[in-house]
Amino acid sequence: MSLATATEYLWFNTRTKREYINITAKVAEVVHNSHVQEGMVLVSAMHITAGVYVNDAEEGLIEDIDEWLERLAPYREEYRHHRTGETNGDAHLKSLLVHHEVIVPVTKGSLDLGPWQQIYYAEFDGCRRKRLVVKVMGE
């Protein structure tokens, strides 16, 4: 058998600067439509001020993650990056902490996640149009 691939792009335009969007169902749909039975799916933010992560879909935890990221990489006027005219230095740092992509196994045609695992798109410099790529690979 040869390697099959499928690629789809998801677009976001959040209402707030920081937002955490559960994209598990959409990624599962892309996997289903790909007809890949065994393989993996790469989910990757295509912007340097966003990220993708896997964790629990519990609202308190999402708030804790947001507060933790804000403590580690708070908005400040003094970022050297702001000398370029940008004002999103903190968003770049938050993205590094979360990372920009995840790889999830595909088994028997479905996402092979643990019992509480969900896939999230994390936006740190929102209110503008951004995208991520979902690439399914396997047999």
Per-residue pLDDT of the chain (139 residues; tens, 9 = 90+): 689 999 999 999 999 999 999 999 999 999 999 999 999 999 999 999 999 999 999 999 999 999 999 999 999 999 999 999 999 999 999 999 999 999 999 999 999 999 999 999 999 999 999 999 999 999 9
Domain count, the chain: 1
pTM of the model: 0.95
Q: What is the CATH number of the domain that holds 90?
A: 2.60.120.460
| Residue spans of beta strands (DSSP E) within the chain | 4-12, 19-22, 38-45, 50-55, 101-107, 110-111, 118-123, 130-138
- Angle of helix 89-98 versus helix 59-72 axis, rounded to 10: 120
Cα dihedral sign, 54-16-91-45? positive
Q: Which domain holds residue 114?
A: 4-138
Rounded Cα distance, 88 and 49, in Å: 8
pLDDT value at residue 3: 93
pLDDT value at residue 2: 83
Question: What is the end-to-end Cα distance of the chain in Å, rounded?
Answer: 7
